[in-house]
Structure 1
């Protein structure tokens, strides 16, 4: 008895039929070229140093708010939110500048009051 291959065994050696409209010499799978895209993002200034300086030297409440916005700016940059990064950095800068101005005004007012009112209110025994 002669063994004959079945239909599945004979079709396994054949190649796939050509795609519609293509000659048999071309493959139906077209490989696309690989492109690598490198996105370069520059980190914006988050004004953390300025906020820490304002917190330590000038005005504590404004400096703390500036630090919070500065850290928020850094975390938004890490998440990829560029618009949120710029917004939080701008808020940190504004709060830090406001604290710096308030601290300088407070120091100037204190010096003026000390020079005029406080120094004359205590009697001098020397």
Structure 2
């Protein structure tokens, strides 16, 4: 208990607290006594407009995006539907086809969201296809060994 108190006060291992200020206030306080919070980095300082909380990731905020239409991943998802997994590819194709509609309607956030989801479904389809192909190859290898041993 005493050690925790010393740790919190900064008194352990020979450390001393900073001396008090001449006026009796906090040693780090600016003139006037109030401690101002630091400005958000890159957000215009104290007078600037903060469009997003500084600890939140920059998601689909329109202020962060330049007027560039997001990719629709139609070719990628067509490849996934034909070669890897029809279900994942068709969902990705549907989401990719919605991007142009939302962009023309001015719903930029939803267009970026659909683009990101279309890409996720395409990557998931490739992953699923690779796993299925590996299972099929293992299945063929096992049964070819079984057939060779039975025919002798």
TM class by shorter-chain length?
A: 0.5 to 0.7
Following the alignment from structure 2 to structure 1, what is the Cα–Cα distance between the partners of residues 107 and 69? 11
Residue 69 in structure 1 maps to residue 95 in structure 2: yes
The normalised TM-score by structure 2 is 0.52
User: Counterpart of 1:45?
Assistant: 71
Gaps of 5+ in 2: 1-65
Segments of 5+ residues of structure 1 without an aligned counterpart are 1-39
User: How far did residue 63 of structure 1 move?
Assistant: 0.4
Match of 1:60 among 81, 86, 99: 86
Q: Which stretches of structure 1, 4 residues or more, deviate above 6 A after TM superposition?
A: none
Distance across 2 between alignment mates of 1:125 and 1:113: 18
Partner of 2:134: 108
Q: Which residue of 2 aligns with 1:86?
A: 112
Size of the aligned set, in residue pairs, is 86
SS of the counterpart of 1:45? Answer: coil
Normalised to the residue count of structure 1, the TM-score between the two structures is: 0.62
Between 1 and 2, higher relative CO (CA 8 Å, sep ≥ 6) is seen in 1
Q: Aligned pair in 2 of structure 1 residues 118, 125: CA closer, same or farther (>3 Å)?
A: closer
Q: Distance in 2 between matches of 1:108 and 1:74?
A: 36
RMSD: 1.9
- 1:11-50 superposed matches below 5 A: 41-50=67-76
For residues 93 and 126 of structure 2, the distance between their equivalents in structure 1, rounded to whole angstroms, comes to: 13
1:78 CA drift (Å): 1.6
Deviation at 1:42, TM superposition (A): 2.0
Shifted more, 93-102 versus 104-113: the winner is: 104-113
Specify the structure having the higher radius of gyration (Cα).
1
**Which residue in 1 is equivalent to 2:145?**
120
